[in-house]
Structure 1
Amino acid sequence: MSPSLPLHFLFTVAALLTSPVSSHFSSTTSSPSPDSSPSLSDWRSARATYYAASDPRDAVGGACGYGDLVKAGYGMATVGLSESLFERGQICGACFQLRCVEDLRWCIPGTSIIVTVTNFCAPNYGFTAEGGGHCNPPNKHFVLPIEAFEKIAIWKAGNMPVQYRRYILHSFFLPAAFIFFCLV
């Protein structure tokens, strides 16, 4: 059996190399080079809400089966997706960039966040898609930890219009494991 690094060491190194929830300026005035990130036309419309974890155990589990999200290195840079986006779990681990739009009263201008899909937002067919069933088809909806939501909007906003796009996944190799994170 080959020697391997302790798991906590790998997560510590991964945590040092990544920023769990990042906020950065997205300029729309500069023209991107052909080799840069996707153009603004790649942004799609959706909505986002948040949850406030009342118990540390709320960070454990999720439909994607990643276990304790903090210990796994995701921190609060996670998201649950509505049925219209979740692709029956095939999207687990994917990265998305989100930014708040339209409501200047609640949005934090010039910011966006990068999150990893770790959970599913189940439909609530007791409500219509427009009347409280945020995750009901055909809605495209993101449910974020409040720590991530507050990087792009004021918490009082509640259910916010956002724009999203897939973000390129970066990987790096550490002995005994491949580590995948959504890096900025």
Structure 2
Amino acid sequence: MPAGTATGPGAEASDRDTASFEAYARVGQRRLYRTAYLLCGDPEGARDLAQTTLAKLFQHWRKASAADNLDAYAKTVLVRTFVAERRRTLRDLLAHTRTAPRTQPHPAPYSDLRVTLLALLDELPPRARAIVVLRYWEDLSVETVASLLRCSESTVKSQCSRSLARLRTRLGDAHVYATGS
């Protein structure tokens, strides 16, 4: 028997855990990537975020697999990882550089609205972006978003209101093409 090979009941349980995680990862990876893409705004960042989420799930698979709703558990890990990474990145950036405020001209009225919206979502702070994506793209309730982000329902409502107002202002007349008004 090779060195380091475990036998017995513990090894069988570990093999079952690994197999159940792999089955979940195959099915859930696309959903995690889609949400990660909406949060990050770029394919590479989304892949990294989805993989980091899967790694964290694997690390704590026994607890995760015992959750009432595994997809909700995974989405919570994904969103919290995103917010934590963005905060860390922003903190590092602010500590090492001094930049002028970021200003961009209004998007051209004929630009693809989806690309424009993703670019504007990127301008929102990480938590506000997560709230908007979860609330309006993932169609989660205020209560669920508040629970995922560990904040009050009033915080979710106020952040949504401010973020949508900011997006409307930045979109200018581009939103008219989407609504047909």
- The TM-score normalised by the length of structure 2 is 0.27
**Structure (1 or 2) with the larger CA radius of gyration:** 2
Q: When you count helix as a share of all residues, which structure comes out higher? A: 2
- RCO higher in structure (CA 8 A, sep ≥6): 1
Q: When you count strand as a share of all residues, which structure comes out higher? A: 1
